[in-house]
Amino acid sequence: MLAFLQAALDGLMIGGVYAVISIGLTLVFGVMGIINFAQAEFLMLGMFVAYFAWAWLGLDPLIAAPAAFVIVGALGLAVQTLLLRRVMRAPPVAQVFLTVSLLIVLQNAALLAFGSSFRSVITPYQSSALRLGPLYLSLPYLAAFAASVASGLALWLFLQRSWFGRAMRATAQDPFAAQLVGINTQAMHRLAFAIGVGLTAFGGAVILPYLTVYPTVGEQFVVLMFTVVVLGGLGSVLGAIAGGFSVGLIQSISGLFLPVQLQNLVLFVVFIAVLSLRPEGLLGARR
């Protein structure tokens, strides 16, 4: 029972992290209809931004996270304007091709620019945990979870309350109708992409304290991110959050009675099952 509670707690914490790094992916898909295979590379870039903020300025990655959001978001804006717009009307296969090529470019540009070393930050809390009775609550996980919740909330407020947010949702729902009421859908696409990759970068920054950054770190998260968003429902921000928690819990609890090596196997089987029974995911709208 205790082991179960601990696993549930860990799963929830890591689930929050998975959620924040995946929200960006679902936002991009919802508004632009593009599956961005290079999304995890923006995670890597966010981690690098946070790393250098720590190495050069002594900033804790959690404090540098908003900077990662802004800097990588700006890069995302450039990428969207220069590259992605071109394939918006192209068949989905072309979009896949472009984002996969972008993945290769970003990864190797990072390798060239930053070198192949594995870089790690040292923060005062990264090797500590809180005790809640017999349970352990890892501090870096807690910090990442808190940051994720905060950013998720901020995004939700943005989408619900601000004009831009509502315009983006309108574009996602029905681009033609949105244009009719005067929304510049092109600008909305740009904004969605920038915010999307920015959020993923933010997520990267908050997980840096307990991970290492190197040019190919994104690869560890690609399939995970996609599982999260599809499970939750492509295009639904709340879905990404629900998906994130689900994935975290499934991974953690399956580790109790299965070899750790198979934690992703369970995840994928659940994933395929959900897709076959409810293709739009847990919270996605039936199209």
Q: Could you say which residues in the range 21-60 bind another protein, by CB under 8 A?
A: 29, 35
Give residues 248-287 in contact with another protein (rule: CB under 8 A): 248, 251-252, 255-256, 259-265, 268-269, 271-273, 275-276, 279
CA 254 remoteness from chain centre: 22
Among 97, 156, 158, 164, binds another protein (CB under 8 A): 97
Inter-residue contact 99 to 105 (CB < 8 Å): no
Nearest CB to another protein, comparing residues 70 and 223: 223
Nearest CB to another protein, comparing residues 6 and 179: 6
| Least distance in angstroms from the C-beta of 111 to another protein | 3
Residue with tokens 């750790």: 260
| Least distance in angstroms from the C-beta of 24 to another protein | 16
**Dmax over Cα atoms in the chain, in whole Å?**
59
Nearest CB to another protein, comparing residues 110 and 241: 110
Among 58, 91, 133, 182, binds another protein (CB under 8 A): 91
- Where does this chain touch another protein (CB under 8 A) — which range of 63-71, 168-176, 195-203, 208-216? 208-216
CA 182 remoteness from chain centre: 30
Q: Which residues pair with 144 in a beta bridge?
A: none
| Least distance in angstroms from the C-beta of 116 to another protein | 4
- Where does this chain touch another protein (CB under 8 A) — which range of 115-123, 153-161, 171-179, 180-188? 115-123
| Least distance in angstroms from the C-beta of 182 to another protein | 29
Three-state secondary structure string covering the chain = CHHHHHHHHHHHHHHHHHHHHHHHHHHHHHHHCCCCCCHHHHHHHHHHHHHHHHHHHCCCHHHHHHHHHHHHHHHHHHHHHHCHHHHCCCCHHHHHHHHHHHHHHHHHHHHHHHCCCCECCCCCCCCCEEEECCEEEEHHHHHHHHHHHHHHHHHHHHHHHCHHHHHHHHHHHCHHHHHHCCCCHHHHHHHHHHHHHHHHHHHHHHHHHHCCECCCCCHHHHHHHHHHHHHHCCCCHHHHHHHHHHHHHHHHHHHHHCCHHHHHHHHHHHHHHHHHHCCCCCCCCCC
Among 77, 101, 145, 208, binds another protein (CB under 8 A): 101
Nearest CB to another protein, comparing residues 78 and 112: 112
226 binds another protein (CB under 8 A): yes
- Where does this chain touch another protein (CB under 8 A) — which range of 60-68, 70-78, 117-125, 179-187? 117-125
Nearest CB to another protein, comparing residues 92 and 184: 92
Nearest CB to another protein, comparing residues 40 and 168: 40
Give residues 182-201 in contact with another protein (rule: CB under 8 A): none
111 binds another protein (CB under 8 A): yes
